[in-house]
Amino acid sequence: MATKILKSKRFGYAVVGLACAAACATAAFAGPNDNKLTIDGQEYVTELPAPEGSPFDTIYSGWRFRNEATQAMEMDDFDNPGFTNVESGEALWSKVDGEAGKSCASCHNDAAESMKGVRAQMPKWNEKAGKPVTLEQTINGCRENNLKAKPWKWESNEMLSMTAFIGSKSRGMPVKVQTDGPMKSWWEKGKKLYYTRVGQLDMSCAGCHEDNYGKMIRADHLSQGQINGFPTYRSKWQKLGSIHRRFKGCMKNIRAQPYEVGGEEFVALELYVASRGQGLSVESPSVRN
């Protein structure tokens, strides 16, 4: 890979290539740490023998690759800045919006009951749409069809608050996405995208998150790229962000043209990446660096 980058005529890449070559050559495998994630007395599954068909022996939540200062922020809901969004989401849940004069609560009542396990199964097959839908798309579908309200923008505060609130109702539950039946072809498509090298740096998801997880890529400790904690509060973003925002960031870093947020590629990729973490506890909203 390094030689390929060095062939680039652009000077900047030569430097990147060198940094990577040096990092890859010198960095020891640091691996995930052994800390246990406990929130409110409940222990979360952050490590699991890999599900069938997985390229790994063991799968790990991204939480295990963070240092203790970052980890601590997720271990107390008060310290977790994502919880301001959970609280906003709770307020939005029962707020009447749209021409139908309804709120989420009008149909779904108590989210603690009705939304339990919802995040864990996303993206989920939608019979009417004839395709899998993400949590964001499910929420907007409900807003447009049932509330007769305007859809929220994907990365808006409202959407992040709602996905954080709904996600929090699945905390501690195992990720369980459907990959068979009508989902099969979408899963295959996601898998293909995962292994396809793209961008000027000619890299795939697998190049980092499968082949080199646990190592340092320059200053970053590479995780397996699990998505069980989204939306996640990242120090880098200083706010919550969606899975698709994270995908986009990765693609930009490898100098690729990102796919469309909410588009078929990212939905398929979200499904495939979620399936690589089957059984890990949902941590939404998690905290990362």
Which residues form the interface with other proteins (CB under 8 A)?
6, 11, 14-15, 17-18, 21-22, 25, 66-70, 72-73, 78-79, 81, 83-85, 87-88, 157, 208, 217-221, 234-236, 238-239, 246, 248-250, 252-253, 289
Q: CB of 174: closest distance to other proteins in angstroms? A: 26
Shortest gap between Cβ of 182 and other proteins (angstroms)?
Answer: 30
CB closer to other proteins, 95 vs 148: 95
By C-beta, is 76 or 144 nearer to other proteins? 76
Residue 282 CB, shortest distance to other proteins, in Å, is 21
- In angstroms, the CA 92 to CA 88 distance is 6
At how many degrees (to 10) do helices 243-253 and 264-275 cross?
Answer: 100
| C-beta separation of 187 from 272 below 8 A | yes
Structure tokens belonging to residue 175: 């990720």
Distance CA 136, CA 244 (A): 10
The distance of closest approach from Cβ of residue 219 to other proteins in the complex, given in angstroms and rounded to an integer, is 3
**Which CB, 71 or 179, lies closer to other proteins?**
71
Query: Of 20, 24, 142, 250, which residue is the catalytic one?
Result: 250
Q: How many CB atoms lie within 10 A of CB 101?
A: 10
CB-nearer residue toward other proteins: 121 or 212: 212
Minimum Å gap between C-beta 207 and other proteins is: 11
Rank residues 133 and 193 by Cβ distance to other proteins and give the closer one: 193
Return the sign of the alpha-carbon dihedral for residues 184, 64, 287, 259. Answer: negative
CB nearer to other proteins: pick between 242 and 278: 242
Residue 122 beta carbon to other proteins: minimum distance, rounded to whole angstroms: 20
The answer to whether the beta carbons of residues 8 and 14 sit under 8 Å apart is: yes
Q: Assess whether 24 carries a catalytic annotation.
A: no
Query: Which residues are marked as active site?
Result: 250
